[in-house]
Amino acid sequence: MRFKTDFYSLADAKAKFSEVVEISENVDVVITKNGKPAAVIINYEKYNKILDFIDKVWDLYLLDLGDPSVFKDIKLEDIFDNYEKKE
């Protein structure tokens, strides 16, 4: 399944922010900075569905490891925070 995506430069997105937010209800919007993807604006409902999916996958991952209590203190947010710090 392929989703439609629109691209806006950072300058265009800033100038047309209301339009970009409106468009993001139906289309994913990639904001580029210096010609490279820098951010994505997506519909809030889609965002929540993605987070729900990640939570379900995370739960399945922990169950597959055997004893998920070993990982009870690990939060998904911590993983993403650590990922950002490594870059």
Buried/exposed 49-75: b ≥16 CB within 10 Å, e otherwise: eeeeeeeeebeeebeeeeeeeeeeeee
Structural domains in the chain plus CATH codes:
5-42 (3.40.1620.10), 45-86 (no CATH)
Whether pTM > 0.85 for this model: the answer is no
Distances (CA, A) of 25 to 34, 53, 64, 84: 25, 19, 36, 27
pLDDT digits (tens, 9 = 90+) for 13-56: 999 999 999 999 999 999 999 999 999 999 999 999 988 888 88
